[in-house]
Amino acid sequence: MRHHSVGIVGVGNMGLAMALRLRELGAELHVRDIDPAREALAIDAGARRAATPAEMARRADAIVIAVVDAAQSEAVLFGDGGVAGAMRAGGCVVLCPTIAPASTEAIAARLAAAGIDTIDAPMSGGPARARSGTMSLMVACPDRVFARWRDLLESLADPVFRIGERAGDGARTKLVNNLLAAVNLVGAAEAIALAERVGLDAARTLDVIERSSGQSWIASDRMRRAIAGDLAPRAHTTLLAKDSALAIAMAAAAGVAPRLGDAAAATFAAAVAAGHGGDDDASLLAFLRELEGRPR
């Protein structure tokens, strides 16, 4: 990739994977996270710590925002010590969290007023694919901005999906995708729970599903872990609960009431309320077992 000074705010599972990827490619990298232990992992790989997002903005040409939600994004961009007050005109913010399209549009407008470009670029694929540069990015930004930062985006992701120029269309695409992921995951958990209920071996049933018409990537990925009892969080249940709720809100604003989407979002909300929010979202199988009165 061309020489850029890049910052990443938020070095959780995805942010750290992106940081390690960029360091591997030789990028000058700056990181900031509220958890010093996460920062330390990136610093060990050669990144430099920024004490505040503003300090990062004074060093970096582009800053990747990899926090959880719109509130956190707005805080690091526009709060005390935020990016927007310190970044020079012509800088770029790559907005990766899954947030509402209206939030993306509002953030892009505020940054534009400060002379800062925004790339609406929600991500998908998980930490392992982020680390290898094979996750996907759903990118919406003006053509001139895409041309300038294409090498950075393609260093982080393959494929990079060019959605269009309108801010918010990356977010819209990600919410459509994640609503389907939520539907698929709830359906897979229900199917495996049913298999167990009627006396089938869960792992063998999943073997059949993976080679048959019921197969989906998220079912294979999550149900393998769920059957093994491995709920160490790669993707917390709270994330798809948030994303499916945002998708339902987007649908409602468009005058659409997706029935399966509503059911999936309600299931995720119930799983979080039952205490599974901090678990991997493979915990939906455990949650459905609990609803039937069986142990985890």
Q: Token pair for residue 209?
A: 């599903």
pLDDT in tens, 104-124: 999 999 999 999 999 999 999
Count of Cβ atoms closer than 10 Å to residue 238 Cβ: 20
Residue 116 backbone dihedrals phi, psi, to 5 degrees: -110, 130
CATH of 5-166, one of 3.40.50.720, 3.30.950.10, 1.10.3720.10, 3.30.465.10: 3.40.50.720
| Domain(s) of CATH 3.40.50.720: residues in the chain | 5-166
What is residue 292's predicted lDDT score, i.e. its pLDDT? Answer: 80
CATH of 172-291, one of 3.30.70.1400, 1.10.3720.10, 1.10.1040.10, 1.10.357.10: 1.10.1040.10
Look at residue 116 and give its three-state secondary structure: coil
CA–CA separation, 182 vs 244, rounded Å?
A: 7
What is residue 234's predicted lDDT score, i.e. its pLDDT? Answer: 87
β-bridge mates for residue 63, sequence order = 7, 93
- Please check the confidence at residue 2 and state whether its pLDDT lies above 90: no
Find, among 84, 71, 88, 162, the residue nearest to 119 by Cα.
Answer: 162
Q: Token pair for residue 223?
A: 């149900």
296 — pLDDT class (breaks 50, 70, 90): very low
Find, among 254, 275, 253, 251, the residue nearest to 264 by Cα.
Answer: 251
pLDDT in tens, 250-290: 999 999 999 999 999 999 999 999 999 999 999 999 999 99
Q: Do the Cβ atoms of 127 and 154 come closer than 8 Å?
A: no
| Domain(s) of CATH 1.10.1040.10: residues in the chain | 172-291
Find, among 223, 226, 213, 247, the residue nearest to 100 by Cα.
Answer: 247
What is residue 256's predicted lDDT score, i.e. its pLDDT? Answer: 97
CA–CA separation, 103 vs 69, rounded Å?
A: 10
Question: What mean pLDDT, rounded, does the chain reach?
Answer: 95
CA–CA separation, 36 vs 14, rounded Å?
A: 16
What is residue 258's predicted lDDT score, i.e. its pLDDT? Answer: 97
What is residue 42's predicted lDDT score, i.e. its pLDDT? Answer: 97
What is residue 43's predicted lDDT score, i.e. its pLDDT? Answer: 97
Q: Buried (b) or exposed (e) across 43-64, using 16+ Cβ within 10 A?
A: bebebbebebbbbbbebbbbbb
What is residue 278's predicted lDDT score, i.e. its pLDDT? Answer: 94
Active site (catalytic) residues: 174
60 — pLDDT class (breaks 50, 70, 90): very high
Find, among 291, 292, 284, 293, the residue nearest to 183 by Cα.
Answer: 284
% of the chain beyond a pLDDT of 70: 98
Omega of the bond leading into 101 within 30 degrees of 0 (cis): no
- 53-64: average pLDDT: 97
- Please check the confidence at residue 201 and state whether its pLDDT lies above 70: yes
What is residue 1's predicted lDDT score, i.e. its pLDDT? Answer: 56
What is residue 294's predicted lDDT score, i.e. its pLDDT? Answer: 58
